[in-house]
Amino acid sequence: MSKRLLNHPPDISHGYRDSDNDFFVAGDITEFDPSSGTGKLKWLFHKYVSGWYFNKIDKHLELQTERQAPFQDYELHPTGNFSISFITDRTIRLQIKTDESPITPRPSLMLVDHKKANYSWKTTQEKGRVIYSGPSGSLELNTGHFFLKIKDAAGQLLTETLAIPELKAMHSKYPPFSFMRDAGDYSKKIAATFSLQHDEMIFGCGESFTGLNKRGQKLNLFTTDAQSSASGQMYKPVPFFFSNRGYGMFVHTSSPLTFDFGNTHQGASTLYAGDDELDLFIFIGNPAEILYEYTQLTGRASMPPLWSFGLWMGCLTYTSQQEVMEVARKMRELEFPCDVIHIDAGWFENGTNCDFKFNKQTFPDPEGMMRTLKEEGFRTSLWQIPYFRPGNSLFKEIIEKGLHIEDGKGNPPTVDAILDFSNPDTIEWYRDKLRELFKLGASNIKADFGEAAPINGKYASEADGWTEHNLYPLRYNKIVSDLSEETTGERIIWARSAWAGSQRYPIHWGGDAEVSDAGMAGTLRGGLSLGLSGFTFWSHDIGGFSDKPVEELFARWAFFGLFSSHSRVHGFPPREPWYYSKRFQQQFKKTTELRYRLIPYIYTQAKLSSDAGLPLLRALLINYPDDRNVWNIDDQYLLGNDLLIAPLMESGSRRRDIYLPKGKWVNLQTKKVLTGGKWYSLRGEYLPGIILVRYGSVLTVAEKCRSTADISFDNITLVAFGDTDKELEGQLFFPGSERAMDFKMSLSQLDLPRIGEKSYRVTHFKNFDF
């Protein structure tokens, strides 16, 4: 067997076909109290047995009836406790132990809402089964042999647990609902197997760059430095998914997992968890309803500051104060709107050795630099990292104070000292370092990396690396975000790694994408997938990261990036627009100016999205779940409720096919009205992409500006995309307010519409020049 390389995702399904291991299948229920939802079940001991079938040898699980000495003192078929509880009208919790230890509440970094049981579910007892019914669906438990069915409110089966196939002669093609005891170390791992219907589609699992529909895939959920946006590895895995049949699941664990959605067997979804117990939340509803439930449980995104929605300009990397100020000067001189200058790993004295101190030779006055930048409408973002090489000036201090993740001897498990964020002393030391940067004038800290917490490490939490590895990004995100809010009053980070719950700490970006069409397409799939996993805000490196940009691709990617949740130019230089052709500069400026004019709309939709646990950049299936055509679309998206964005995905092409959902849509560049429910071949006109506006909507549009500091929410135009004689409705969210304000307007009315105390000018889209 080949070795798993350092920090590569483990496949938890490995071992489930190994005859040396022991398997315990969910069997008879020996006790169950319908009123409390608690009971006990027998885990039936099985072994794999080889069998002959028409000149083929394969394996099937076979029940064991006795054990040889000295194992008579141990229970052949162990008993485990289980519990069924109801959190809301749409959320069910299933907890199962592999032994008789009690099911007790435990602290969780992933959960924010610990509601008591929801009693809107009614209990019906029948012979051999208990049915729990709620407004949105039902759960049916077979009280003789462990078997669950989940149904919707109409009684349609959504999914059910799978046992051992009756026809054993055909051998075992998927593991039944069971746990495995590994012969190598006696550890236990759960396999929760559910039915998968012939037309079922699966979505979620974090920032996955593979096909948006996970049906037929096997995903290893283990945060790692993917170094790609076109492979199966993930910076931001999330153990949550939902099905087009109307249910979703969240496996509440930080252990590595492997989700097999019909990859091994077309009729089975198996959730392999590297844990000795199962804590599974089951949701019933459409995608938006499921995301609302999931984010109610694990938290919703905080609202980032207005300036973060402007353009971020950076590269790998600016290396001097003079260079930073020159970039800022030229952005203003050439009239490219911009709000943030990002300084990556170039502000330290010794290369990328992060010591949290500016190089005095190349950055003689960082405080004055950041103050001047802010006066010119720029915020400053700074890169840093929680890994410290032996040559780093802080390495010795970190080791002596025990602030690092250790091996059994107190040394780093790898060459670098990696900060142990489960250690309160480490957290305070790290916060002190970052606090000084905020005091100097930094507005944002880039929380890079975070995917390398050692599996073999020793942690202050006393949990093992198996438990702590996936929690590391969540701890990391929280520390930086909390400090940002404490010191600046604004909750914002720029993070690469994440786990379930990290959506509470925006903003995250898509990592190190290839400079290629495949890199751009994979980046978009990753963003859509992360949005379908509870994250409202997301960005990516415009142009790809890993090489000098290709101008034609850079232009198309800039359109995609400037109509994403957040927009950052970053990667190998040069990245500044003036290094490219006049045509590129014109398109880049036009696209950036349009984004800035739409920021009142984008900012409002950001608030509405974060309140609902929805992504700002979202797959069409969220808004149009009843349209079967949209479930397989992963190269166009909605930005909020009213803008449909279709980047040009192929080199050299100005035209592409676009599907428009039901209703009518306005092509923003041609102003033609198109009927939805069909496909069109459309061309990018003066922009390298296509924007369509939902007919019946109102866009809130700002005046042309150089930064978000220049945007006056009292001086915007309401642009009506609808019939001139009909009343239209819209919303506007003002910075500093608690909620978006509703308004109504009609072009046939003489009075200007009012939002709060202010009257606003209105116009029809045909009369408005974007």
Q: Looking at the DSSP assignment, which residues form a beta bridge with residue 240?
A: 250
Q: Which residues pair with 178 in a beta bridge?
A: 25, 191
Neighbours of 749 (CB within 10 A): 11
- Asked if 404 contacts 449 with a C-beta cutoff of 8 angstroms, the reply is no
- Residue 765: which of 711, 739, 731, 728 has the closest Cα? 728
Torsion angles phi and psi, residue 231, rounded to 5: -130, 180
Q: With contact defined as beta carbons under 8 Å apart, do 140 and 131 qualify?
A: yes
Amino acid letter for position 131: I
* Cα-based distances in Å from 598 to 555, 688, 700, 705, 747: 19, 17, 7, 11, 21
How big is the CA angle at 215 (ends 213 and 217), to the nearest 5 degrees? Answer: 100
Q: How far apart are CA 708 and CA 702, in angstroms?
A: 10
Q: For the CA atoms of the chain, what is the radius of gyration? A: 27
**% helix, strand, coil for the chain, step of 5:** 20, 30, 50
506: cis peptide before it, omega within 30°?
no
> Which pair of tokens denotes residue 325?
């100020």
Contact (CB, 8 A) for 549 and 636: no
Cβ atoms of 178 and 172 closer than 8 Å: no
**CA–CA dist 60, 107 (Å, integer):** 39
| DSSP code at position 679 | E
Contact 335, 706 (CB under 8 A): yes
Residue (of 628, 677, 488, 676) closest to 200 by Cα position: 628
- Asked if residue 539 lies in contact with residue 568, where contact means CB atoms within 8 angstroms, the answer is yes
Residue recorded with tokens 């880039």: 446
Contact status, residue 45 vs residue 22, Cβ threshold 8 Å: yes
Angle at CA 136, nearest 5°, toward 133 and 137?
45
Q: Which amino acid, residue 675? A: T
Catalytic residue numbers read 448, 451, 512
Closest to 543 (Cα-Cα) out of 533, 555, 525: 555
DSSP assigned state of 497: -
Closest CA to 277 of 515, 102, 421: 102
